[in-house]
Amino acid sequence: MDAGDRPARLTVGVLGAGKVGSALGAALAQAGHRVVAASGVSDDSQRWMAERLGVKPSPPDEVVSAAQLVLLTVPDDVLPSLVSGLAATGADLRGKMLVHTSGAHGLSVLDPAAAAGALPFALHPVMTFTGRDDDLNKLTGISYGVTAPEAVRPVAEALVIEMGGEPVWIADADRPLYHAALAGASNHMVTLIAESSDLLRRIGVEHPGRMLGPLLGAALDNVLRLGIAGLTGPVVRGDAGTVRKHVDALILAAPEAADAYVALARLTADRALAAGLLKPEEAERLLDALGGNIWT
């Protein structure tokens, strides 16, 4: 990035200095910007403000007043009321960069602030945050879903690059689907692996992680390199008898997991069939084993 493309050094405020806000604020500080104020109510937020951002808690209106760039890092459902509240209180938003980090929300959630003169954009870091000390290190090399008006887009993208990330442009209307794709892959993966680990413990496997780690690592590598062509297992082999045994065992041991297994097996079979990895007659046998139609 040329020097002329870099945003000027900015004063930064963080509204909601939790796991995400404190990590991004610290990343902006490392890039040469200056965190001047932050707000947060939990004990963890108070600690992260002191340790990561080097500021004391301030009321939201003071955070906005002190900063040129304001990060709105609150839960998705809280974001609309926060923005409308800032606009309703008459906070001077003129020329302020108001940046939310929600994956699902687009620019419309910032409309009340934009009407008051703020410059709105969205920067969604594609990463999970746990509140651990390594959160900041996770930001290097990740993608950010960027949505901004054209006039602000160069600044938004430059900020991402300064934090060591890769800006990826997401059209405003596509953000809900974009976020559904990310959440489906990452959040549901955690649930599936936790469920598998519990089932293995139930039958006496003391360290499920040791058993699952190499298998899951290989599966992840396969799908990222090969897509659906990296699929292995009984569904793509057309082993309907094995799939039926899985379903029967899960119905007895964990009925709530059986429903998820059937739904995912149908989706897997549907994709394998469409990709030519599964023959129609094999798909029919799987259909019977799963107890329903895999075609819509």
Which of 294, 256, 254 is CA-nearest to residue 278? 294
251 to each of 27, 247, 267, 290, how far by Cα in Å? 47, 6, 19, 12
Contact 118, 90 (CB under 8 A): no
Residue 292 has pLDDT above 60, yes or no: no
Q: What is the mean pLDDT of residues 81-91?
A: 92
pLDDT for the residue numbered 15 = 97
pLDDT at residue number 294: 42
Q: In what order do the strands lie in the sheet with 166-169?
A: 34-39, 11-15, 69-72, 97-100, 119-125, 143-147, 166-169
Query: What 3-state class would DSSP assign to 168?
Result: strand
Q: Does residue 212 fall inside a structural domain?
A: yes
My answer on whether 128 and 260 are in the same domain is no
* Domain region containing 103: 11-170
Q: Residue 126 burial (CB < 10 Å; 0-12/13-18/19+)?
A: middle
Do 282 and 185 sit in the same domain of this protein?
yes
Express each pLDDT in 215-251 by its tens digit. Answer: 999 999 999 999 999 999 999 999 999 999 999 999 9
Q: What is the pLDDT of residue 183?
A: 95
Residue 5 binned pLDDT confidence (cut-offs 50, 70, 90): low
Tell me, yes or no, whether 6 lies in a domain: no
Based on the domain organization, do 156 and 29 belong to the same domain? yes
Integer Cα distance of 238 and 253 in angstroms: 24
CATH number at residue 132: 3.40.50.720
Q: Is residue 56 assigned to a domain?
A: yes
With 70 as the cut, is the pLDDT of residue 295 above it?
Answer: no
> Is residue 16 over pLDDT 70?
yes
Q: Tell me: the pLDDT tens digits for 107-130?
A: 999 999 999 999 999 999 999 998
Residue 203 C-alpha from the chain's centroid: 33
| Same domain? 50 vs 139 | yes
Query: Is pLDDT at 206 greater than 50 in this prediction?
Result: yes
Residue-wise pLDDT tens digits, 125-174: 999 998 888 899 999 999 999 999 999 999 999 999 999 999 999 999 99
Gap between the Cα atoms of 155 and 174, Å rounded: 21
The confidence score (pLDDT) of residue 6 equals: 65
Number of domains in the chain: 2
Whole-prediction pTM: 0.88
- The answer to whether residue 296 is domain-embedded is no
Q: What is the Cα–Cα distance from 49 to 22, expressed in whole angstroms?
A: 7
Same-domain status, 96 and 183:
no
What pLDDT band is residue 293 in, cutting at 50, 70 and 90?
very low
For the stretch 265-287, pLDDT in tens is 999 999 999 999 999 999 999 98
Asked if residue 202 belongs to a domain, the reply is yes
Report phi then psi at 68, rounded to 5: -90, -35
